[in-house]
Amino acid sequence: MTNQLNGCSVAILVTDGFEQVEMTEPRKALEQAGAKTTLVSPKDGQVQGWNHDNKGDVFKVDATLDSAGAKEFDALLLPGGVANPDKLRMTPKAVAFVESFVKEKKPIAAICHGPWMLVETKAVHGKTVTSWPSLKTDIVNAGGKWVDREVVTDGNIVTSRKPDDIPAFNKQTIALFAESMKHAPAAR
């Protein structure tokens, strides 16, 4: 379904250590659906992707957290990889960036270890979410209900467990973002 997301601007928050396929495949699906994606990072220049335990490709950062704000975007994508969200949740500007999406009730898609940022911003409280299994205790301790499912949508948040879930994750992410666009205020 092309053009479902025409006019939708999506921030993709990453730093070095993100799981490459969890950024590239959702990004491709979002762009094919008509969205404009922006790679946002705490650092300028490039970020290093990973393919499990091996270095992957480097990607150009489109905007830094110093220059980008949640008000510029309609939705947020949080790829996983262990190092990526662990570094981001220790970066106050990254946490504040995600908190802005949470406070404004903008749609957020997080996969694998990406929900750590949702734990950090208290966005999982009262929500049913999934993630890489090692985040279960963190999610439960943050007041969320963790389930072992391919993809879960609860309110304005969609989550998935791992790279194998990407097709279902992409489908639900596009559906959530498209539904949100129907109810979004007129153009910024």
Domain boundaries, the chain: 9-110+164-181
Print burial letters for 145-174: b (CB count within 10 Å at least 16), e (below 16): ebeeeebbbbebbbbbbbbebbebbbebbb
CB 48 within 8 A of CB 56: yes
Round to whole Å and give the CA distance between 166 and 155.
Answer: 20
3-class SS letters over the chain: CCCCCCCCEEEEECCCCEEHHHHHHHHHHHHHCCCEEEEEECCCCEEEEEECCEEEEEEECCEECCCCCHHHCCEEEECCCCHHHHHHCCCHHHHHHHHHHHHCCCCEEEECCCCHHHHHCCCCCCCEECCCHHHHHHHHHCCCEECCCCEEEECCEEEECCHHHHHHHHHHHHHHHHHHHHHCCCCC
pLDDT confidence of residue 188: 44
What are the pLDDT digits (tens) for 40-77? 999 999 999 999 999 999 999 999 999 999 999 999 99
Residues serving a catalytic function are 112-113
Q: What pLDDT does residue 150 have?
A: 98
The pLDDT tens digits for 152-178 are 999 999 999 999 999 999 999 999 999
Diameter of the chain measured on Cα atoms = 44
Share of the chain above pLDDT 70, in %: 97
Class level of CATH domain 9-110+164-181: alpha beta
Average pLDDT of the segment spanning 120-126: 97
Give the pLDDT confidence score for residue 187 in this predicted structure: 45
Instruction: Give the model's pLDDT for residue 57.
Output: 98
**The pLDDT value given to residue 185:** 62
* Mean pLDDT of all residues belonging to the chain: 95
pTM: 0.96
Nearest Cα residue to 103 out of 126, 70, 77: 70
